[in-house]
Amino acid sequence: MEYRLWIKKTEEWLFYLFLVSVPFSIRHIFGYDPVGFMEWKAISVYGTDILISTLFIYWAIHSNFKFLIFNFKKSDWLLVGFVAVAGISITNAIDQKVALFQWLKLIEMAALYFYVKYYVLKRFELSKCFIALVIGGLIQSAVAISQFMVQHSIGLKYLGESVLAPNMTAIAAFFSGGVKIMRAYGTTVHSNVLAAYLFLSLAAFYFISIYEKRKWFWYLFHAVTIWAFLLTFSRVIIGIWLLNFIIRTVLYRFYPSFKKVFWSKTEMRQRGLKVFTVTVLVCLAFSVAYWPYVKDRVSLSGSDEAFQLRVFYNQEALFKEVSLFGVGIGNFVPWLMRQPLPQGGPVQGHPVGIGLPAEQYQPVHNIYLLIYSELGIVGLALFLLFLVFVVYEFVIRTRFKRPYHVSFALIFASVLAMGLFDHFYWTIQSGQLLFWLTVGLISSNNV
């Protein structure tokens, strides 16, 4: 009995460690050559891959994968079809080695989806999983705040921190008053990935702080996480978070079922007011402290190079020849590098006839267009149908009987909306983990 309890506790702590480790970019890159290295062609094994493999072994021992025979739903079969189409697309790939690797990564992420959907919430408490996300967010917040204060990396390369400095090319930064300001990264490979992780960490905080009584320092941790989240200066993700906050506030105060649960009960109302007050005060303090930066990030110009490049990637994805199975999974960038540039180049002032710098060859900043490009119209159709049935099954299963079902739907909708403006849910390890963990959670019978 003690041995079985030890095994269960070990598995539980490994899963919580995995949730904390999602943003750590620790990896081994096979055949790494610093000269001419391109992220989108890299073949890597991450520390989180090892953790996932270990957790899958526990899963196999305890469940024997019985759900594969008895419990598949329509959404599951659509995902299987989607993975199969991704495998077919390899035959179209320019770089078939990268395509095969990315297909194996997709299989891993699909397995993670099934693991979360059919096993995790039967094995572990949801509130403890959320606490792990909050702790992970605090760790990333401490790193992010330190990076922003000194405006360079802080020497955590063994935790996956990138080498960072404002004067580097391809760095997430912006100009304010003629000075280049580096955005916070944490231990992720990009500020937007950190913002997505902190977004989910804050969502986990809201769940715990509303449904459970917490000490005063819990709200101090909340303030620190919001501050670090804002230091990412991720326009889209912060905008989506603010919209979420407004919707939640309105529901909390005025929507009948929410009002009955949260506003009519003194203790619940006080908890909600604490969250509201801390959030508003931190946002106001941040806006005052960094107003020039906030103003420069909020304003968006059509002449901005990053904006022009995003338009260029989208146009290349949309206006290429329609294909049933695309250019091959993981092969948009190799395909793009072989395409002729438009007259005058993709950005203002680009020399005619000169190729782009290597760092400007990037995936489409929209996961739906990227999937269309790499897996074709068949792949995109299966992916969208998969998401539709995930949402449909969630609605049928929950009927929004509990207020947090509405919150989960808001979070999932936010994740899908973020996918309209960036590619990391499809191309970057931490982003892939966040996406498939979220889809797995919303699909679980135990939420």
DSSP assignments along 215-267, one per residue: -HHHHHHHHHHHHHHHHT--HHHHHHHHHHHHHHHHHHHHSHHHIIIIISSHH
For 37, phi and psi rounded to 5 degrees? -65, 135
Query: What value does the CA radius of gyration of the chain take, rounded to a whole number of Å?
Result: 22
Count up the domains in the chain and report the number. 2
pLDDT for 258: 78
Residue 12 belongs to domain spanning: 1-33+43-116+318-447
Statement to judge: residues 77 and 157 lie in one domain:
no
> What is the rounded distance in angstroms from the CA atom of residue 385 to the CA atom of residue 148?
41
* Eight-state DSSP code of residue 66: T
- The position carrying tokens 């946002």 is 283
Is 312 within the bounds of a domain?
no
End-to-end CA distance of the chain: 29
Residues 6+ apart with CB under 8 A from 358: 36, 38
**Mean pLDDT, 10 residues at a time, the chain of 447 residues:** 78 96 95 84 95 94 67 92 97 96 98 95 93 97 98 94 90 92 96 98 94 86 97 97 93 79 80 93 97 90 74 82 89 91 70 74 94 96 98 95 91 97 96 98 91
Statement to judge: residues 206 and 325 lie in one domain:
no
Give the chain's length.
447
pLDDT for 69: 56
Which residue, among 114, 136, 249, has the nearest Cα to 199 in the 3D structure?
A: 136
Is 307 within the bounds of a domain?
no
Q: Which of 265, 299, 333 corresponds to the end of one domain?
A: 299
**Cα-based torsion angle of the residue sequence 162, 163, 168, 169 in order, rounded to the nearest 10 degrees:** -30
Statement to judge: residues 134 and 262 lie in one domain:
yes
Statement to judge: residues 285 and 327 lie in one domain:
no
Is 305 within the bounds of a domain?
no
pTM: 0.95
Output the six-digit token pair for 287: 């806006």
Output the six-digit token pair for 37: 């290295």
* Eight-state DSSP code of residue 60: H
Other Cβ atoms closer than 10 A to 12:
16
Residues 6+ apart with CB under 8 A from 352: 343, 344, 345
Amino acid in the structure at residue 163:
V
Statement to judge: residues 261 and 149 lie in one domain:
yes
Output the six-digit token pair for 349: 């002032």
Output the six-digit token pair for 329: 């999974």
Is 4 within the bounds of a domain?
yes
Statement to judge: residues 144 and 106 lie in one domain:
no
What's the pLDDT tens digit per position in 293-309? 999 998 876 567 777 88
For 180, phi and psi rounded to 5 degrees? -80, 125
Would you say 99 and 89 are in contact if contact means Cβ atoms under 8 Å apart?
yes
Q: Which of 299, 333, 365 corresponds to the end of one domain?
A: 299
Which residue, among 327, 332, 432, has the nearest Cα to 375 in the 3D structure?
A: 327
> What is the rounded distance in angstroms from the CA atom of residue 352 to the CA atom of residue 354?
6
- The position carrying tokens 């899908």 is 416
